[in-house]
Amino acid sequence: MKSVLLTALCAAPLFCFAQTAAPDSNAADDAASVTLDPVLVTASRTPQPQSQTLAATIVIDRAQIEAAQAGDLADLLRFNAGLDIGRTGGPGQTASVFIRGGESNHTLVLIDGVRVNPATSGGAALQNLVPDMIERIEIVKGPRTTLYGSDAIAGVINIITRSPGKQQIDASLRGGSYGTVGGSAHYANTIGDYGLSVETEQQKTDGFPACVGTDVDSEFRNNSVNVKGTAKTGIARFEARAFNAQGKTEYFGGGCDPTFGLNPTALDFRNQTLALAASSQLLSNWDSTLSLSRSEDRSRQYNQTDSVRTIRPQLDWQNTVTVLPGLRALFGGQVSQERVDSYSSFGAPINQTIDLYNAFLQGQYDNDHNHLLLAGSVLDHDAFGSRLSWNAEYGYDLYVKPLYKTTLIAAAGTGFRAPDATDRFGFGGDPNLAPERAQNLEVGVRQRWGANQTWDLRAFRTRIKNLISVEYDPANNQDVDFGFRAVNIDRAKNSGLEATYRYADALWSGTLTGIIQNPKDRSDDSSLLRRARRSVTAQLRRDIGRFYVSTDVLGSSERADFGARNAGYTLWNLGAGVRLPQGFSLSTRIENLLDRDYQTAAGYRQPGLSAYATLRWQYL
The C-alpha atoms of residue 572 and residue 512 are separated, in whole angstroms, by 14
The C-alpha atoms of residue 453 and residue 431 are separated, in whole angstroms, by 51
Q: Residue 532: which of 144, 80, 142, 85 has the closest Cα?
A: 85
Q: Residue 468: which of 440, 490, 484 has the closest Cα?
A: 490
> Each residue of 279-324: pLDDT tens digit?
999 999 999 999 999 999 999 988 778 899 999 999 999 999 999 9
pLDDT the model gives residue 5? 42
Residue 93 makes CB contacts below 8 A (sequence gap 6+) with 87, 127, 210, 218, 220, 249, 251, 604
Percent of the chain with pLDDT strictly greater than 70: 91
| Residue 321 near residue 328, CB atoms below 8 Å | yes
Residue-averaged pLDDT of the chain: 90
> Each residue of 581-594: pLDDT tens digit?
999 999 999 999 99
| Residue 271 near residue 299, CB atoms below 8 Å | no
The C-alpha atoms of residue 445 and residue 404 are separated, in whole angstroms, by 13
What band does 449 get if pLDDT is binned at 50, 70 and 90?
very high
Asked if residue 111 has pLDDT above 50, the reply is yes
| Residue 211 near residue 605, CB atoms below 8 Å | yes
Asked if residue 475 has pLDDT above 80, the reply is no
Q: Residue 309: which of 275, 336, 344 has the closest Cα?
A: 344
> Each residue of 202-226: pLDDT tens digit?
999 999 999 998 899 999 999 999 9
Average pLDDT over residues 417-423: 91
Q: Does the pTM exceed 0.85?
A: yes
What percent of the residues of the chain are helix, what percent strand, and what percent coil, each to the nearest 5? 10, 60, 30
DSSP assigned state of 144? -
The torsion angles phi and psi of 25, rounded to 5 degrees, stand at: -65, -40
| Residue 176 near residue 611, CB atoms below 8 Å | yes
Average pLDDT over residues 264-289: 95
Secondary structure class of 262 (helix, strand, coil): coil
Domains and CATH numbers, the chain: 2-619 (2.40.170.20)
Residue 226 makes CB contacts below 8 A (sequence gap 6+) with 133, 161, 162, 197, 198, 199, 200, 241, 242, 243, 244
| Residue 342 near residue 421, CB atoms below 8 Å | yes
Average pLDDT over residues 480-496: 81
> Each residue of 388-397: pLDDT tens digit?
999 999 999 9
> Each residue of 127-177: pLDDT tens digit?
999 999 999 999 999 999 999 998 899 999 999 999 999 999 999 999 999
